[in-house]
Amino acid sequence: MKNWFKDWVSPSYLRRHGVLGMNYRNTGFIARYNDRSRFPLVDNKLLTKQVVERSQIAAPKLIDVVESQHDIEEITETLKDLQQFVIKPAHGSGGKGILVITAREGDEFVKASGAHITLDELKRHLSNTLSGLHSLGGRPDHAFVETLVQVGDLFADYSHEGVPDIRIIVFQGYPVMGMLRLATRASDGKANLHQGAVGVGLDLATGRAISAVQHDEPLTHHPDTGSELARIRIGNWKQLLTLAARCFEVTKLGYLGCDIVIDRDRGPLILELNARPGLSVQIANGAGLIPRLHAIEALGDVPVDVADRVEYSMTHFGSRSAAAQETLWEEETIQ
Amino acid sequence: MRQRWPFLLLIGLLVAAGISTALYRHNSYGIPFLPSSEQTVWQVEARIQFNARGRESHVYLALPPLQSGFSIVDSNYASSGFGFDIDRSRKQERAHWTKRNATGPQTLFVKVELLASEFEHREEPPPAELPAPAWQEPYRTAAQQLLDSVMPISADARSLAQQLVGAMNTQPRDQSVSMLLDTRSPAKLLTDLLLSARVPARTVSALQLEDGRRRQALADLVQVWQNDRWHLVDPQQGIVNDTKRMVLWVTQAPALLEVVGGDASRVAFSMISSVRPSLNVATERFGDFDISLYSLPIAEQGMFKLIMLLPVGALVVVFMRIIIGLKTSGTFMPVLIALAFLQTDLVPGLLSFIIVVAIGLMIRSYLSDLNLLLVARIAALVMIVIGIITLFSVVSSRMGLIGGLTISFFPMIILAWTIERLSITWEEEGPQEVLKQGGGSLFVAVIAYLMMSLSLIEHLAFNFPELHLVVLALVLLLGRYTGYRLLELRRFAAFKAREEA
C-alpha cells in the first residue's frame, strides 16, 4: 500500500511546482490563445512548410509538391538527379508514409533502412499517399518532397537511429521550455516520448541538459548507447531559440510546439509545428510550465521584438542548477 | 476567468429549471421520485350467498359510487353459471346476475380494488325537493319535541345533526327517543328528523376498511349536505371527520342487495390491503393530461427509455476524461457499448464484445497487408463483423447458450470502427497502447452501464426528462474544470521521485 502511494503525488504538490495539467492546457492556453482557423496551418505540413519558407525561416527545403496523380509522372524528372530526399504526406500522423531516401544505386533508390526500391515502387508510394492511405481518417492527401536533414556526428552517441529533434514550447512568441528528444530501440527509431524515446530537459539559458526521462522515469544514461546524458549541450542555442520564437509571427498561434532539427551544414531547421504540444516536457525539465506562462501573460499584449523576447526567456527561464555546473561540462560542448 | 458570472447564472438557471419542473410534476401529477414508491390498494371482496328457489333468479348488488378519497382501480365479478351485466337503470350502478334455473345455495363474488388517493370528487347535490318523512302520531309529536329541543342550540346542518346524535344517545335515554327508535333504525331516524327540519340528509351504507377483516357488514350512516358537499354522520358517534378508511357503498340505491327468486340472502365483506407502485397509478390516472413520454406509442417509449439514458452515459464519459483522465478509443464509443450491454447484460456482453473485437483485429491485420483504402477497409470490416456475429449467434444457440443471440444488439458500424481504430493504434503505437485504450474504453463502458442500469437513474431519466437540464449543467461545469486529472497525479509523480533521489 505504501509503495502504491509512492507512485502518486498530491494535487497541491503539483500546484506548488506549477505543473500544467491537460485540462488547464486545453481551456487556459490552447482554446484561449490558438485560433481554430490557424490550426490547418500546422496540421498540414505542406502548408506549414510553404508559410515558413515564405517568412524565410530555416527549414528543410521544399523540392516539389505532388497534388494529383498527374504530378507523379512529372516528378520523376525532378527526382532523377537527386541523391537524397524525403517524401512526406501533408497530413501524415505518427511518421506514417514518410519515405527517406539516403542514396542512389543505379536506377534504384536506397532507403534509410538500407533496402532498395525502384522508381515504380516510389510512384506507387506517392499514388497511395495521394489517395489517403497514410493520412488519418483516409482523406485524399497531398505529398511533398524535401531535402534530407544531414545529421552530424554530434548526436551519434545519443541516438539510436532516427533524427534527434528539439521541442521548444513557444508561448506568445517567448520560448518557455525546451527538450531534446532522442530515439531509442524501444521507441523504434521514433522521437515520440510516449513510445519510449528519451526526453532531455534543456536549460533555456544555455542549451545544456538539465535532466532526462524515459517512460516518465528519470535516467542518467542513454539506454542503448550508454552515453551520459548530462554532458549534452546544444550549440547555436540562441539562434535556435530565435528560430522557434519567430514561428509565432508566422502562425499567430499563441501556444505552440516547435520541432527543430540541427543540420550539419545549415544549423537549426524547423521540422514541424504543433498546436497541441504535450506536457511531458515538464517531466524532462523537472519544472512546471505555469509560472513561466503566467509571467508572460503578466507582460501584457505589447508587441516585443524577437531578439528581446529570446533575451527575456534566456535570462528569466534559465535553470540555476545548470549554471552552477557550467564549469564541469565546459569541454564537452556539442557544436 | 472571463465571463464567470453569466456562466454561473446559466448553470444556476439550468439547475433551477430542471429541479423545479421535476418538483412541480411530482406534486401535481404524483409522479414518484423513487421507482419503489408505493401506494396502498384495498382489495375488497363482497360475498353474496342465497338459496335459489329453482326459478329465474335476479341478483342485484349496489356497487361503490364515485367518491372523494378513493378511486376504483379494478373490479372483477366471479359468477360461474350466471349471466352478468352492470345495471345502470338506477341512480347508482348495480351489479346484476341472472340465471334461469338455480336451486340450492348459491355464492357470488365481487372483487373491487380501491386506491386510497387524493382524488376529489364533485359530489351530486341533493334533489331540490326533499322527501318529506311520514310521521304518525304519537311519533310526530315526539319528533317535533326532539327537534324543538335541539334547534335553538344548533346553527347549521352539521351542528343540528351533531346535536341530534347527542340527544339520541344521552343516557338514560329520553322517553320520546326510545319510542322513536322502536319504529326506525338509528340512521333512518336521524335522517327523517333532519329531513323534517328541511335539512338535506340521506341514509348511506359504508364499509369500514381494516386490513385482513373478514365477514364484515356495512355500517348504516347518515350524510348531511352543507357547503356543497355531503358530511358523514355516525348516528352513535356524531360527525365522522376521518373518512380515510370509510368507503361509501350504498348512497342512492334502494338497497345493498336485492335477490329475486331466492331467499336467505346475505352479503359479507372481507378485505386486505396491498401496496402497488405509485408510478403505475399515476400513469393510469393522469397519463392523458401530463405532457410526458408516456404519451408516445409503446414502441417509441421503449426507444426513448434508452435515448434518455444517453446523457447519463455522456456524463460518465466526460467525468472519466476530465476528472480521471482515462484514454478511450473513440470519445463516445463507450456509451454506445454500454447501451448494448443494457440489452445483453454485462457478462455475456463483455465476453462477446471482447471475442468479436479480438477476431476482428486478427482479420484486420491481414487487411492491412492488402493496402486497401480506408472506406473499402471499413466496409470490409463491417461485413466481417456481421459474419463473426452471425457465426457466433448460430454456434452459441446450437450449443444452447442464449447469450449469443443477444450479441446482435451491438452496433455493427461502431464495432467495425472500434476494430479499425484499435488496429491503427496497434500499428502505430504497439499492442500495449491497444490494451490501454481498449481496456480504458471497456472500463468506461462498464461504469456507464452500471450507472445507466441503476433503477433509480432509469426511472428519473424517463419520468423526469427535465432533470437532464441538471445533467447538462454538470457537463458544462466539468467543461470548465481546469484542475489536474486523477491519472496526472501518477504521471507527474516522476517530479517527486527526482526530488527525492
Assess B431–A contact: CB distance below 8 Å, yes or no. no
Asked if the Cβ–Cβ distance from B428 to A213 is below 8 Å, we say no
Domain ranges of chain A: 17-41+153-332, 61-146
- pTM assigned to the model: 0.68
Asked if the Cβ–Cβ distance from B371 to A213 is below 8 Å, we say no
Residues of chain A in contact with residue B420, where contact means CB-CB under 8 angstroms, are: none
pLDDT, tens only, A39-81: 888 888 999 999 998 988 999 999 989 988 888 888 878 887 8
pLDDT, tens only, B133-183: 888 888 888 888 888 888 888 888 888 888 888 888 887 777 778 888 888
Mean pLDDT over each residue of chain B, to the nearest integer:
82
Mean pLDDT, range B431-450, rounded to an integer: 90
Per the model's pLDDT, the better-predicted residue between B106 and B11 turns out to be B11
Mean pLDDT, range B263-271, rounded to an integer: 85
Residues of chain B in contact with residue A138, where contact means CB-CB under 8 angstroms, are: 373-375, 377
At residue A261, φ and ψ (nearest 5 deg) are -115, 160
Band (pLDDT 50/70/90 cuts) for residue B499 is low
Q: Which of A3-12, B19-28, B234-243, B467-476 has the lowest mean pLDDT?
A: A3-12
DSSP-H helix ranges across B320-345: 333-344
* Portions of chain B given CATH number 2.60.40: 37-124+246-289
Nearest CA to CA, how far is A18 from chain B (Å)?
Answer: 11
Asked if the Cβ–Cβ distance from B494 to A27 is below 8 Å, we say no
Asked if the Cβ–Cβ distance from B325 to A195 is below 8 Å, we say no
Q: Which chain A residue's Cα is nearest to B429? A: A195
> What is residue A323's predicted lDDT score, i.e. its pLDDT?
43
Residues of chain A in contact with residue B489, where contact means CB-CB under 8 angstroms, are: 8-11, 14
Which of these CATH numbers, 2.60.40, 2.40.50, 3.60.15, 3.40.1360, describes B37-124+246-289?
A: 2.60.40
Share of chain A above pLDDT 90, in %: 31
Please name every residue paired with B266 in a beta bridge, in sequence order, or none if there are none: B49
Architecture (CATH level 2) of domain A17-41+153-332: 2-Layer Sandwich (3.30)
Mean pLDDT, range A310-334, rounded to an integer: 61
Residues of chain A in contact with residue B327, where contact means CB-CB under 8 angstroms, are: none
Please name every residue paired with B84 in a beta bridge, in sequence order, or none if there are none: B97
Mean pLDDT, range B90-97, rounded to an integer: 85
* Ramachandran region, residue A143 (left: φ > 0; alpha: ψ -120 to 50; beta: rest): beta
Asked if the Cβ–Cβ distance from B484 to A17 is below 8 Å, we say no
Q: Which chain B residue's Cα is nearest to A214? A: B494
pLDDT, tens only, B325-360: 888 877 788 888 888 888 777 888 888 888 888 998
**In 3-state terms, what secondary structure has residue B327?**
coil
How many Cβ contacts (< 8 angstroms) between chains A and B?
Answer: 88
Question: What sign results for the dihedral spanned by CA atoms B44, B50, B54, B60?
Answer: negative
Interface predicted TM-score (ipTM): 0.79
Q: Which helix (H) or strand (E) holds B349?
A: helix B346-369
Asked if the Cβ–Cβ distance from B485 to A27 is below 8 Å, we say no
Nearest CA to CA, how far is A334 from chain B (Å)?
Answer: 26
Asked if the Cβ–Cβ distance from A27 to B482 is below 8 Å, we say yes
Q: Which helix (H) or strand (E) holds B149?
A: helix B139-150
User: Helices B346-369 and B333-344: crossing angle, nearest 10°?
Assistant: 130
Q: How far is the C-alpha of A48 from the C-alpha of A90, rounded, in Å?
A: 9
Asked if the Cβ–Cβ distance from A194 to B489 is below 8 Å, we say no
Q: Which helix (H) or strand (E) holds B357?
A: helix B346-369
pLDDT, tens only, A283-300: 888 889 999 999 999 988
> What is residue A312's predicted lDDT score, i.e. its pLDDT?
92
Assess A137–B contact: CB distance below 8 Å, yes or no. yes
Residue B56 has pLDDT above 80, yes or no: yes
Per the model's pLDDT, the better-predicted residue between A123 and A335 turns out to be A123
Mutate to test the interface with B, among A2, A12, A13, A14 (most CBs of B within 10 A): A14
Residue B453 has pLDDT above 80, yes or no: yes
Residue B304 has pLDDT above 70, yes or no: yes
Residue B319 has pLDDT above 90, yes or no: yes
Which of these CATH numbers, 3.30.70, 1.25.40, 3.30.1490, 1.10.150, describes A61-146?
A: 3.30.1490
Mean pLDDT over each residue of chain A, to the nearest integer:
84
Share of chain B above pLDDT 90, in %: 10
Residues of chain B in contact with residue A15, where contact means CB-CB under 8 angstroms, are: 484
Residue B400 has pLDDT above 70, yes or no: no
Assess B296–A contact: CB distance below 8 Å, yes or no. no
Q: Which chain A residue's Cα is nearest to B430? A: A195
pLDDT, tens only, B411-423: 777 788 888 888 8
Band (pLDDT 50/70/90 cuts) for residue B447 is very high
Assess B482–A contact: CB distance below 8 Å, yes or no. yes
> What is residue B167's predicted lDDT score, i.e. its pLDDT?
81
Nearest CA to CA, how far is B469 from chain A (Å)?
Answer: 23
Are A160 and A180 within 8 A, CB to CB? no
Band (pLDDT 50/70/90 cuts) for residue B235 is confident
Q: Which chain A residue's Cα is nearest to B368? A: A133
Would you give the distance in Å from CA B216 to the centre of its chain?
A: 30
H/E/C letters for each residue in chain A? CHHHHHCCCCHHHHHHCCCCCHHHHHHHHHHHHCCHHHHHHHHCHHHHHHHHHHCCCCCCCEEEEECCHHHHHHHHHHHCCCCCEEEEECCECCCCCCEEEEEEECCEEEECCCCEECHHHHHHHHHHHHCCCCEHHHCCCCEEEECCCCCCHHHHHHCCCCCCEEEEEEECCEEEEEEEEECCCCCCCCCCHHHCCEEEEECCCCCEEEEEEECCEEECECCCCCCEHHHCECCCHHHHHHHHHHHHHHHCCCEEEEEEEEECCCEEEEEEEECCCCCHHHHHHCCCCHHHHHHHHHCCCCCCCHHHHHHHHHHHCCCHHHHHCHHHHHHHCCC
Would you give the distance in Å from CA B239 to the centre of its chain?
A: 34
At residue A220, φ and ψ (nearest 5 deg) are -115, -25
Asked if the Cβ–Cβ distance from A218 to B374 is below 8 Å, we say no
> What is residue A176's predicted lDDT score, i.e. its pLDDT?
95
Assess A17–B contact: CB distance below 8 Å, yes or no. yes
Q: Which chain B residue's Cα is nearest to A13? A: B496
Asked if the Cβ–Cβ distance from A23 to B485 is below 8 Å, we say yes
> What is residue B406's predicted lDDT score, i.e. its pLDDT?
58
Which of B483, B491, B497 has the CB atom closest to A218's CB atom?
A: B497
Asked if the Cβ–Cβ distance from B493 to A10 is below 8 Å, we say no
Asked if the Cβ–Cβ distance from B428 to A9 is below 8 Å, we say no
> What is residue B256's predicted lDDT score, i.e. its pLDDT?
84
Per the model's pLDDT, the better-predicted residue between B158 and B72 turns out to be B158
DSSP states of B230-264 as a string? EEEEETTTEE----TTEEEEESSSS-SEEEESEEE
Assess A92–B contact: CB distance below 8 Å, yes or no. no
> What is residue A128's predicted lDDT score, i.e. its pLDDT?
83
Which of A9, A24, A131 has the CB atom closest to B482's CB atom?
A: A24
Mean pLDDT, range B456-471, rounded to an integer: 89
Are A288 and A16 within 8 A, CB to CB? no
pLDDT, tens only, A215-259: 878 888 888 888 888 888 888 899 999 999 999 999 999 999 999
Residues of chain A in contact with residue B429, where contact means CB-CB under 8 angstroms, are: 94, 194-195
Mean pLDDT, range A310-323, rounded to an integer: 77
Mean pLDDT, range B97-116, rounded to an integer: 84
Which of B375, B481, B489 has the CB atom closest to A11's CB atom?
A: B489
> What is residue A332's predicted lDDT score, i.e. its pLDDT?
42
Q: How far is the C-alpha of B103 from the C-alpha of B100, rounded, in Å?
A: 10
Cα–Cα distances (Å) from B423 to A58, A91, B98, B420, B429, in that order, read: 37, 19, 77, 5, 10
Asked if the Cβ–Cβ distance from B495 to A10 is below 8 Å, we say no
Mean pLDDT, range B248-268, rounded to an integer: 83
Residues of chain B in contact with residue A214, where contact means CB-CB under 8 angstroms, are: none
Assess B155–A contact: CB distance below 8 Å, yes or no. no
Q: Which of A109-123, A257-271, B6-20, B362-376 has the lowest mean pLDDT?
A: B362-376
